């Protein structure tokens, strides 16, 4: 029912040619030049429908009991990579793109591992309290994207724990570096590459793919290139973006293309 409602919302967003449609359209044109106009338009529509489904699923993710949500996970691929990475004692940085349903991924991780998740606090205090309460209900810690949060992140990695970061939004001014993403210069966060270089933590990526027909989810883990631990910031940020791109290419319609991912250009101009 939630996904049906979300699909309806996504189709309406597409038909109305809303702001989300225009940004999605521009991003897909930039990132998939190999697709013809009709194929790009199809991906735009599918993406907005999947984003609508994600919105419809938020009630499930936050209101249902964690046990009930986790029962919707049908299969997990390559989770042994996480267990092996934790064995090195330096902690694990987990790249979690805005792909599929990351709330389901977070719940799964919280049931099995000591998890600290970095997040960008909403501007509305009531919403921030709601997000923190729901995401932390299984004992995971939430670290805001500020100085306090960075200290929490370092502490988690030094303790050999898991640090989850969604690194694929455009960085705030002064906190990023331009690095390629789908062949485009993208102002990308410096924090994850810096943490990887300073701590020597193993970096993995993970996402929860939405299955067709409301069947549930499959979770995938993948090991990132060791270049992400490079002390050269451009090299490590490029490796970080390459890992996000790898995940997105597995199921591109479930990525949130309506983000202004390429708003600022390296020549000082703006796209949106």
196 domain residue, yes or no: yes
Query: Do residues 115 and 140 touch, judged by C-beta distance below 8 A?
Result: yes
96 domain residue, yes or no: yes
Of 1 and 120, the one with more pLDDT:
1
240 domain residue, yes or no: yes
Query: Do residues 244 and 189 touch, judged by C-beta distance below 8 A?
Result: no
Task: Give the separation between CA 253 and CA 175, rounded to whole angstroms.
Answer: 29
166 domain residue, yes or no: yes
pTM above 0.75, yes or no: yes
44 domain residue, yes or no: no
pLDDT one-digit tens code per residue, 28-63: 999 999 999 999 999 999 999 999 999 999 888 888
161 domain residue, yes or no: yes
Give the CA-trace dihedral at 46, 51, 52, 54, to 10 degrees. Answer: 130
Averaged pLDDT for residues 132-143: 74
Please report which residue ranges of the chain form alpha helices under DSSP H: 2-15, 19-31, 37-63, 66-70, 80-86, 102-112, 125-135, 147-158, 191-199, 233-250
Instruction: Collapse the DSSP code of 90 into the 3-class scheme (helix H, G, I; strand E, B; otherwise coil) and give the result.
Output: coil
pLDDT at position 145? 82
pLDDT one-digit tens code per residue, 213-272: 999 999 999 999 999 999 999 999 999 999 999 999 999 999 999 999 999 998 888 988
pLDDT at position 262? 95
Residue 135: pLDDT band (50, 70, 90) is low
The residue segments making up the domain with residue 87 are 74-254
pLDDT one-digit tens code per residue, 61-106: 888 888 999 999 999 999 999 999 999 899 999 999 999 999 999 9
Record the tokens describing residue 153, joined without a space: 């992140």
Structural domain count, the chain: 1
32 domain residue, yes or no: no
How does 101-121 read in b/e, with b if 16+ C-beta sit within 10 Å? bbbbbbbbbbeebbbbbbbeb
Instruction: Collapse the DSSP code of 129 into the 3-class scheme (helix H, G, I; strand E, B; otherwise coil) and give the result.
Output: helix
Query: What are residue 162's DSSP bridge partners?
Result: 92, 115
DSSP 223-256: EPPGGGG-SSHHHHHHHHHHHHHHHHHHSGGGB-
CA separation, residue 138 to residues 109, 114, 121, 133, 219 (Å): 10, 10, 19, 10, 19
95 domain residue, yes or no: yes
């Amino acid at each position: 029912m939630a996904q049906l409602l979300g699909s309806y919302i996504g189709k309406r967003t597409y038909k109305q040619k809303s702001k989300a449609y225009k940004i999605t359209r521009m991003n897909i044109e930039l990132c998939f030049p190999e697709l013809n106009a009709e194929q790009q338009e199809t991906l735009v529509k599918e993406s907005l429908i999947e984003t609508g489904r994600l919105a419809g699923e938020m009630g499930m993710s936050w209101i249902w009991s964690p046990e009930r949500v986790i029962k919707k996970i049908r299969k997990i691929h390559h989770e042994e990579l996480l267990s092996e990475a934790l064995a090195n004692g330096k902690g694990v940085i987990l790249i979690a793109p805005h792909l599929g349903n990351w709330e389901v991924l977070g719940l799964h991780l919280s049931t099995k591992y000591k998890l600290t998740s970095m997040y960008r606090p909403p501007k509305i205090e009531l919403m921030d309290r709601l997000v923190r309460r729901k995401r932390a209900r299984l004992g995971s810690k939430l670290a805001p994207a500020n100085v306090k949060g960075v200290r929490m992140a370092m502490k988690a990695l030094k303790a050999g724990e898991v640090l989850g970061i969604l690194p694929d939004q455009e960085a705030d001014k002064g906190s990023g570096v331009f690095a390629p993403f789908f062949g485009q210069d993208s102002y990308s966060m410096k924090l994850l590459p810096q943490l990887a270089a300073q701590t020597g933590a193993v970096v993995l990526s993970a996402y929860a793919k939405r299955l067709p027909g409301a069947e549930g989810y499959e979770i995938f883990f993948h090991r990132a290139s060791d270049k992400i631990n490079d002390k050269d910031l451009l090299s490590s940020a490029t490796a970080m973006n390459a890992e996000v791109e790898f995940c997105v290419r597995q199921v591109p319609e479930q990525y949130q293309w309506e983000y202004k991912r390429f708003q600022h250009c390296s020549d000082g101009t703006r796209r949106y």
